[in-house]
Structure 1
Amino acid sequence: MKFSLSWLKTHLATEAPLSRITEALNNIGLEVEAVEDRAAALAPFVIARVIEATPHPNADRLRVCRVDTGSGEVSVVCGAPNARSGMTTVFAPPGAYIPGSNITLKIGDIRGVASAGMLLSAREMGLGEDHDGIMDLADDPPAGTGYAAWAGLDDPVIEISVTPNRGDALAVRGIARDLAAAGLGTLKPWSPPPIDGSGPSMIQWRDEFTEACPWVLGRTVRGVRNGASPDWLKQRLESVGLRPINALADITNFFTTDLGRPLHVFDANRITGPTLTLRRGAGEAFRGLHGKDVTVTADDCVIADDAGVQSLAGIVGGEATGCDESTTDVFIECALFDRVAIALTGQRTGIFSDARQRFERGIDPALLPAALDAATAMVIAICGGTASAITEAGTQPAWQRQASLRFERLASFARADVTADRAVEILTALGFAVAARDAAMVTVDVPSWRNDIAAMGLSGGSALDQAPDLPPDHAAAAREGALALEPEVDLIEEILRIEGLDRIVPVSLPVLGAVPTATLTPRQARSVRARRVLAARGMAECVTFSFLDRTTAARFGAAPENLALANPIAADLDQMRPTPLATLAKAAAANAARGFADLALFEIGPGYRDVSPEGQDQIAAGLRTGLTPLSWVTPARAVDAFDAKADAFALLAELGVPLEALQITPSAPAHYHPGRAGTIKQGPKLTIGHFGALHPALCTALDLPGGSVGFEIDLGALADPKRRRKTAPVFSPLQPLRRDFAFIADADIAADAVLRAAKGAERTLITQVELFDRYAGDKLPAGKVSLAIAVHLQPKEKSLTDTEIEAVSAKIVAAVTKATGATLRG
């Protein structure tokens, strides 16, 4: 929200300096984002008169000017071609900073002639690109006058940030009201005289969509002359960054900023038929005043005549009925639109306008008649014409409500010395009217422009049910105005922000115990450990968006309609991701396109299956592309599925998952290579992750390097780590021993099945089983492979005899044969 200081003073009588005003705005919650004070940069520049301009004795293109600065005469050497005797221009004295040239002036000697200052062009003052000559002021102002004040450039422009609940602060008058309550002046009265219309309006309203527009007013003004706006109106709009269009359009833009009351003017002669109808859209399209075509739906409120849709209500008008220099009769629209309906239509269409910004935050429902009269008066004053009577449809909604405040409650929140009288004084200055008061509490009428206060207080009976112990005076007020105690915190907030949040006494949080509780939950701590182990494996952490384009989301699982974003920040970020691996792949592809093909990335973040809280999974995902890092130990090689498996298993081991309890099945999601991927299970039913090479078609579609590998671990599927008592490790004093076995098995037998069977043959002695060779060739029957395993035995009480070793070996062979059908290779 932008406004100039002079515009603010049309509503606020104040002598406070700019610095005090900006400080107060910050203190009352209207955060100042920027202040543009051109007068500060132009302060050294004064209007001067060139008494005499003569050629420089030592330079053909220079002139020596004798200049009257208002405080004396000085000599200035000037190179401008238009410098001449008798002209009025702008002078900068020595020591002044020249913004357009980025220099600070000094007294100098130019070709043997002293020069004590500079005559300025528009570009040198930072006011434009004109550098053909020095400023030539035709109005002949007196010498010595400050240029900024004379040119009307001494009006600072303030930009504030407005929170979504403060629709009233999107008006200069609303800001002035807050500042007056904060003690920076007096709010000027505003009550436009009513306009007595002459005859009925040539356009009438019909409202067929009261849910979106409960009340609408309008009137015709005939015989107008639409042209350029007066200078004061142009300057008002230009100061806040608006481009003047024509008088009629500028008037509506003025009231949008001045009162926070959007209006629209139709060219009455371009409306087909005698009626404008507020109704639902029906798939029509029209060209808006923003120069683009708009297609409306049944959820949108439109303004239509007999020819069709002429405006998207509350958001943008139509080009076909817009006003231009040929307009002679206008119809002024002043409507109250439902803010939810406006917000939904605005999100769907993506049209951002000042009107939408105000309607979707809520406007003053009682302001319509006065705003229409004020706009009509300005149209007549600037453009002439004769106003008709007002036409309306619908009724003013019942906005009246009350709220109460217990002074004891205020003190408990504030911990500050805010007396009851001061609290009531602040509320009154903000527009709240006292309905009842006693020593303990006050009940106030909420003003119409504060739709954020007591929003729950319109329910009547339920409010009284929640406050059965009200004093008699307040109970009577409650019956009339549906008083509720829920808005009490709203009133407390209003009092504290006006009084000053810095006055609240800081209070330390209570100490809950001598020993603080853990900062992180076990699951949060698990995510931290996962980050550490993956980073230690040489992977770089990424933090990517949780949404991406729908096509990519479908390639990594599914793209259900209920996970599509209603208001995406970009067209290619319209779907919640099924897994962080998808956005990692996009990041890797972007890096590969820039020449960084050897990557190791990971992310720990959410993946989405549906919109329910249970449909969000916390997933640790990693992706490797290109070559493994080059080292003196092993040469660089292309990454493969076993690199992804190693990453996944290292992560699971760090998180305390017993690796011997895991099973790997060859099935994997469709975004993995069907023959080079696996699914990690903990038990026969619980799937905790996947790993493997990404599908070649996926790599091609995303421009990923071929052979890229990845893994996904569902951290939420892992059981919470159990708190175990730490004990000292027990080491056997006896020598371990190893026995190797080679089994001939069917080619489709998983090596993991052989390892598990061998491990379970004698659990008290076997500590580790590992596969060290797999052979398939012409020395074996077709469809057979040789799997060689190493079994480590660790005796604990005594050394094993040969007989005992043979017995264990026999158990191992029997267990493997029973589980897999494999036989010992001779």
Structure 2
Amino acid sequence: MKFTLSWLKEHLETDAGLDEIVEAMIAVGLEVEHVDDPAERLKDFTIGEVLAAEPHPDADKLKVCKVATKDGVLQIVCGAPNARPGIKVAYAPVGAYVPGIDLTLSKAKIRGVESHGMMCSARELELGEDHEGIIEAPAQAEVGQPVAAVLGGDPVIEFEVTPNRPDTNGVAGVARDLAAAGIGRLVTKAPEPAKGAFACPQKIGLRFPEGAADACPVFAGRLIRGVKNGPSPKWLADRLRAVGLRPISALVDITNLVTYDRARPLHVYDADKLKGEIHARLGIKGERFLALDGKTYEVDETMTVIADDSGVLGLGGIIGGEESGCTEETVNVFVECAYFDPLRTARTGRRLGIVSDARHRFERGVDPAFILPGVELATRLILDICGGEPSDVALAGEIPHTDRTVAFPPSEVRRLAGIDLPEEEIERILKALGFSVSRADPWLVDVPSWRPDVEGKADLVEEVARIAGFDRLPSAPLPPRQAVETGKLAPEQDRRRRARRALAARGLLEAVTWSFTDERHAALFCDGANWLRAKGLILANPISSELGAMRPSILPNLVAALQRNADRGRDDLALFEVAPVYAGDRPEDQETAASGARLSNPPRHWQGVAPKADVFTVKADALAALEAAGANVGQLQTAAAAPAWFHPGRSGVLRLGPKTVLAHFGEIHPRILKAMDVEGPVHAFEVFLDRIPPARARASKTKPALDAAALLPLTRDFAFVVDAATQAETLIRAVQGADKKLIARVALFDVYQGKGVPEGKKSLAVEVTVQPREKTLTDEEIEALSARIVAQVEKATGGVLRA
């Protein structure tokens, strides 16, 4: 919301300066965002007088002028056609910054003639749009006077309107708050009714089905005939430009003025273009209209429209239509002033993506009691500027009642806000803000129609406190600091933290992506689009068309992020994220996953190229995250049962038993990458942290004793010939089962198929670490252990020692 200082002073009689007004606005809760003070912006510019203007010797359109300035008589080269002796001008010295052309002046030679400064146009000083010639200041202006003091330049204040204060969407509302704060006296005038010269010939009405009458409970208007539309007078055009609006025509500019002045949007129609009754109703699906912004919009049965017998004219409370708009040929005008439901207006505006001053005010709530005064105010302005003869005011429906009375004990100010104020001061503040006060026991306070945010006594306390000043709150020292126990992480939080640290330690970079993803991509990482819909994961109102579904997996977001980086030249990257995934719309369908993805294209190096990431790399990532999160990785089983979005021959799962899957890992299926337009291969993993069984509570909080063996370990290598389909994990578990006390570690170090190994077989070689505990093992004991290992492997896999 913007307004000029002179505009404010039409409602507020005050001697306060700009700085004092801004400070008072901030104090009462009107947060000022920016102040544009021309006096400050134009401080380097002063009045000069042209003493002589001779043709430039080398340029037909340039003149060499002698100009009297505060710095003496200077020579300035100028190309303005109106540069002539005797006129007063806006002089810019060398070193001044000219805002309209974004230029800092320096001493220059123009076609060989020195120029010391510049004479400026209105556009160059951002005082108007005129750029045909230099500014001609009033003849009585004195050389050396500041330009801002002579040519005006009204300060513009911009502040943030909070949603609970719709009354401050108008300058009059701001003035009321400042008057209550003691900055001046409120002088806002009530609109003077204009007597109708004839009955309104334009029929109006409300056509809503039962249950929808609140969409537009009242519709008012009047016809004014014989108007003369055209450009607005200078004062009106300048005022609108100052707040960022483009003057269009007098009739339209008047409605914009009332919108900003009293927070009361109106609309004007060319009455000769209306066909039959003009009325408010719900739209009909398929109806279209061309709006004033040049776009065509389709309405539906949830939207309030203004229509006549020919169809839709505009969206109620949002935007009017082009076909019924006023032009310079308009002679008869119909002024409309109505009240529209804030929620329906907001939904319509969001659905169609229309942002307008009318929508901004209606969706926050306008003063319903200002409907008829709004018509009268607009009528007076039209008669003064455009002439014409008004009809009687026509009214359809009833003005909504906003009567609210709050029982208010004045002692609540002390109890809730901690401020001691005399009752007379509390009463003064409330009355200055427009409340009516009856000093019964408790007080009965009538809430004005323009304050829909005030519902109870706490709201009245807030009003009193903000006007009285929060700086009047008594100060009190904080109580002595007590030692408190430091916060502890819940097990789930600690698990996520440890998983993050482990993955970061393996060189992956943490990403933070949306909990939503592209609906097409989400369908690739679950059981399809129908599953997403059945589980309620499709968003009804997504913030973007590319974020239309809750993610069933983090991988689509990470894979897409890898490709975005690759498109920018970073194609050797590993990302991870620890965050929620969703298997449905119920709370129990959410679980935490630690997921990662690798796009591996190592750079060349004189020592050789580093190995690319593969399925075993992401398996190691998953195991590291699981181990850090507290899973007993020694008990995990590896199986080739990864979901369909992984490559079937290059993927697997880590599980506890046959049903509890703790992780997926492997290469993303080429079909998935093609559908996402990603250049692979991409290897990824998913670890489900919530599925990890909780650790058993220890009997003691002290650390267990160090289990360090006094005897040296020894190693033995075994190579077994097994069926080609046998998993190495099965063999490793068989070896470990031969003697769990003595065998400390089993590691696979060779897989071989070829010469010397029968067809359909393979050789698996493992290194077995034996850790004696009580005594050094004899050769006979070692041989016995080896025999048990061979027997156990043969029993579990059918394998035999390789010859």
TM-score in same-fold range (> 0.5): yes
1:460 — aligned with what? none
Equivalent position to 1:750, from 712, 722, 727: 727
Which consecutive residues of structure 2, in runs of 5 or more, have no partner in the other structure?
none
Q: How does 1:807-818 map to 2 (within 5 A)?
A: 808-809=785-786, 812-813=789-790, 816=793
Asked if 2 retains the 8 angstrom alpha-carbon contact of 1:12 and 1:188, the reply is yes
Give the equivalent residue in structure 2 for 1:325: 328
Which residue of 507, 522, 534 maps to 1:553? 522
Q: Note if contact 2:413-2:420 (Cα within 8 Å) is conserved in structure 1.
A: no
Please say if residues 718 and 766 of structure 2, whose CA atoms lie closer than 8 Å, have aligned partners that are also in contact.
Answer: yes
Letter in 1 for 2:26: N
Taking the TM superposition and a 5 Å limit, the aligned residue runs for 1:66-77 are: 66-67=66-67, 74-77=72-75
What residue in structure 2 maps to residue 680 of structure 1? 654
Q: Which segment is superposed worse, 393-402 or 27-36?
A: 393-402
| 1:533 aligned residue | 502
Determine the C-alpha separation between the residues in 2 that align with 1:136 and 1:488: 57
Q: Match of 1:642, SS?
A: helix
Work out the CA distance in 2 between the residues paired with 1:378 and 1:353. Answer: 22
Task: Describe how 1:337-416 pairs up with structure 2 within 5 A.
Answer: 337-405=340-408, 409-416=412-419
Paired residues of 1:772 and 1:789 also in contact (CA < 8 A): yes
Instruction: Indicate conservation of the 8 Å contact 2:68/2:74, yes or no.
Output: no
CA distance in 1, matches of 2:333, 2:295: 23
> Residue 39 of structure 1: CA displacement?
2.8
Change in CA separation of 1:808 and 1:166 when aligned onto 2, cut-off 3 Å: farther
Partner of 1:310: 313
CA separation in 2, counterparts of 1:170 and 1:720? 57
The worse-fitting range, judged by mean Cα deviation, of 8-17 and 504-513 is 504-513
Give the match for residue 155 of structure 1: 154
Query: Is 1:543 the counterpart of 2:512 in the alignment?
Result: yes
Q: 1:217 to 1:715 in 2, by over 3 A?
A: farther
Amino acid at match of 1:639: A
Residue 15 of structure 1 aligns with an amino acid whose one-letter code is D
Deviation per CA, 1:303-332: give whole Å up to 9, x if none: 222222221222222222222222222322
8 A Cα contact 2:426 2:464, kept in partner: yes
Partner of 1:498: 467
The answer to whether the 8 Å contact 1:98/1:105 transfers is no
Do the aligned partners of residues 686 and 489 (structure 1) sit closer, same or farther apart at CA in structure 2, a change above 3 Å counting?
farther
- Specify the alignment match of 1:477 in structure 2: none
Counterpart of 1:214 (choices 210, 214, 217) is 217
- Summarize the Cα distance change of 1:24–1:569 in structure 2 as closer, same or farther, 3 Å threshold: farther
Question: What is the one-letter code of the residue matched to 1:401?
Answer: R
What CA distance in whole angstroms lies between the structure 2 residues aligned with 1:59 and 1:390?
Answer: 64
Contact 1:201-1:391 within 8 A present in 2 as well: no
CA distance in 2, matches of 1:132, 1:218: 42
Q: Which residue of 1 aligns with 2:240?
A: 237
Going from structure 1 to structure 2, the CA distance change for 1:118 and 1:248 (only over 3 Å counts) comes to: closer
Q: What is the root-mean-square deviation in Å for CA atoms of aligned residues?
A: 3.6
Q: Any idea what SS the aligned residue of 1:366 has?
A: helix
- TM-score for the superposition, normalised by structure 1: 0.86
User: Are the equivalent residues in 1 in contact too, given 2:203–2:277 (CA < 8 A)?
Assistant: yes
* Alignment partners' CA distance in 1, 2:692 and 2:465: 48
- Is residue 205 from structure 1 mapped to residue 182 from structure 2 by the alignment? no
Number of aligned residues: 787
SS, match of residue 79 in structure 1? strand
Contact 1:123 1:130 in 2 (8 A): yes
Report the CA distance shift for 1:60/1:449 in structure 2 as closer, same or farther (over 3 A): closer
Q: Please name the residue that 2:616 is paired with.
A: 642
Q: Shift in Å at residue 183 of structure 1?
A: 2.2
**What are the ranges of 5 or more consecutive residues in structure 1 without an aligned counterpart?**
455-486
Q: Is the 8 A contact 2:206 2:219 kept in 1?
A: no
For residues 61 and 385 of structure 2, the distance between their equivalents in structure 1, rounded to whole angstroms, comes to 49
| Pair 1:23-2:2 in alignment | no
Partner of 1:43: 43
Among residues 660, 666, 669, which one is paired with 2:643 in the alignment? 669
How many angstroms does 1:184 deviate by?
1.7
| Aligned: 1:186 with 2:160 | no
Contact 1:76–1:118, Cα closer than 8 Å, also in 2: no
Query: Taking structure 1 as reference, are residues 424 and 36 closer, same or farther at Cα in structure 2, changes over 3 Å only?
Result: same
Aligned amino acid, residue 798 of structure 1: K
Kindly indicate whether the alpha-carbon contact (under 8 Å) linking 2:46 and 2:91 is maintained by their aligned counterparts in 1.
yes
Q: Distance in 2 between the 1:761 and 1:508 partners?
A: 72
Shift in CA distance, 30/767, structure 1 to aligned 2, threshold 3 Å: farther
Contact 1:628 1:639 in 2 (8 A): no
* Offset, 1:242: 0.9
Partners in 1 of 2:489 and 2:350 — Cα distance? 38
Kept in 2: contact 1:414–1:505 (CA 8 A): no
**1:109-161 CA distances to partner (integer Å, 9 max, x unpaired)?**
9999999865334566466898886x152864533454334433x21111112
Segment of structure 1 superposing worse, 739-748 or 241-250 = 739-748
Query: Counterpart in 1 of 2:560?
Result: 586
SS of the equivalent of 2:361 reads helix
Distance 1:434 1:496 in 2: 17
Alignment check: 8 A CA contact 2:90 2:137 kept:
no
With normalisation by structure 2, the TM-score equals: 0.88
> Which residue pairs with 1:467 in the alignment?
none
Deviations along 1:419-463, whole A, 9 cap, x unmatched? 55444433332222224454xx64422222221221xxxxxxxxx
Letter of the aligned partner of 1:225 in structure 2? K
Q: What is the deviation of 1:527?
A: 3.0
Q: How does 1:258-277 map to 2 (within 5 A)?
A: 258-277=261-280
SS of alignment partner, residue 747 of structure 2: strand
Structure 1 residue 790 and structure 2 residue 767: aligned?
A: yes
Percentage of pairs with the same residue: 47
Distance change (3 Å), C-alpha of 1:193 and 1:103: closer
In 2, the alpha carbon distance for the partners of 1:88 and 1:653 equals: 84
Residues in 1 aligned to 2:274 and 2:745: alpha-carbon distance in whole angstroms = 88
Tell me the CA shift for residue 659 of structure 1. Answer: 0.7
Give 1:449's aligned residue.
Answer: 450
Structure 1 residues 243-288: Cα deviation after superposition (integer angstroms, max 9, x where no partner): 1111222122222211112212222222222242412432222221
Supply the AA of the counterpart residue of 1:637: P
Name the SS of the counterpart of 1:711 in structure 2.
strand
Question: Which has the larger displacement, 709-718 or 46-55?
Answer: 46-55
1:584-637 C-alpha deviation (Å, 9 max, x unpaired)? 222211111122111122223333344444444333222211235778998412
Q: 1:103 to 1:346 in 2, by over 3 A?
A: closer
Q: Do 2:419 and 2:465's aligned partners in 1 also have CA atoms closer than 8 Å?
A: no
> Contact conserved, 2:275 with 2:310, CA < 8 A, in 1?
yes
2:226 paired residue number: 223
